[in-house]
Amino acid sequence: MRLRSVELEAPDCQGAARFLQVNWGLLDAGSKNGISYLRGTEPLPYVLSLTHAHVRALASVTFSGTLPEIEQARSRASLAGARVGPMRTFDEPGGGEGFFLEGPEGQVFRLVCEKHRVEKLPSERDRPLQVTHVVINARDREACTRFLIEVLGFRLSDRTGFMNFIRCDEVHHAIAYAQSTISSLNHIAFEMKDFDAVMRGIGRLKDAGFAPAWGPGRHGPGNNIFAYFVTPFGATMEYTAEVQRVGDDYKVGGPEDWKWPPNRTDHWGVSGRDSEALAEAEKQFPFRKPVL
């Protein structure tokens, strides 16, 4: 199983799609049923979709796997008493079969086995490859973490004083839950080829008048390089690279393992953080009411 895509709803999809292509570096993956799809260079049909709506919402977070993996996950989720939708066919780039799953705070997850493969595109030096993690604000991050572990078989990689990092493959985290008073999108992270690509991405956004809200820097858990931007359509998005890959022998870290010295929020300590702008952006994309 792997993290594949994020589905958003927003009032100005055209403007958002323009920003995502012209400035962020994603590619047009077509539109269908009025929904715009965007992709990176990895062989995934899309990584982000935008549906026009009057209010902003995080419609779903999608994982993909083989059909046996998806069917097994559905059986396991049903047995665990989770709210699951029926198996259905998805009419979207990649198509395929899957189901909706509701998390403890109304999070909407989709598990999909695509029918159509797409080609990997030549990697460009500053274009996003794919979505590598999604961070979700949660009122009870421990309950939400248990759900992904017990219902989907994901694994805890690290726990800090305010975040839990969870993986579904060898990537250190596909999902992280940030402790909050609300349940909403915290940010979406796009993997870049390397350090140079992250810096070039920052430069491209600087040329367009956007400064990082945090970064560049290097995180503790996951050891990834990061740069966060509050996008004009309201969501916080991250360019990242060098995300740690871990195996079964990875030792789960706790809050005591991830303490920063005073005035530090990353390994390098070279960048400021606009906490106010980031906190405001966290309120913009609550989960849409689940419809399974």
Select the span of 157-165, 184-192, 194-202, 268-276 touching Fe ion (CB under 5 A): 184-192
- Closest distance to Fe ion from the beta carbon of 238 (Å): 5
CA-based nearest residue to 208, from 189, 231, 226, 225: 231
DSSP letters for 159-213: E-SSEEEEESSSBS-SEEEEE-SS-EEEEEEEE-SSHHHHHHHHHHHHHTT---S
Number of residues binding to Fe ion, judged by CB under 5 A: 2
The nearest distance, CB 187 to Fe ion, in angstroms, is 6
Using CB under 5 A as the criterion, what x/- string covers residues 229-268 for binding Fe ion? ---------x------------------------------
- CB nearest Fe ion: which residue? 189
C-beta of 152 vs 189, nearer to Fe ion: 189
- Verify binding: residue 189, Fe ion, rule CB under 5 A: yes
> Which residue, 113 or 189, has its beta carbon nearer to Fe ion?
189
Q: How far is the CB of 17 from Fe ion (least distance, A)?
A: 22
Interaction of residue 136 with Fe ion, rule CB under 5 A: no
Contacts of 248 (CB under 8 A, 6+ apart): none
Does 158 help bind Fe ion (rule: CB under 5 A)?
A: no
Any idea which residue has 């399974």 for tokens? 292
The C-alpha angle 51, 167, 274, rounded to 5 degrees, equals: 60
Token pair of 32 as six digits:
């269908």
Compute the least distance from the CB of residue 31 to Fe ion, in Å: 28
DSSP code per residue over 71-135: HHHHHHHHHTT-EEPPPEE--STT--EEEEEE-TTS-EEEEEE-SS--PPPPP-TTS--EEEEEE
- The interface region with Fe ion, picked from 52-60, 82-90, 187-195, 261-269 by CB under 5 A, is 187-195
CB of 83 to Fe ion, least distance (A): 27
Residue ranges binding Fe ion (CB under 5 A): 189, 238
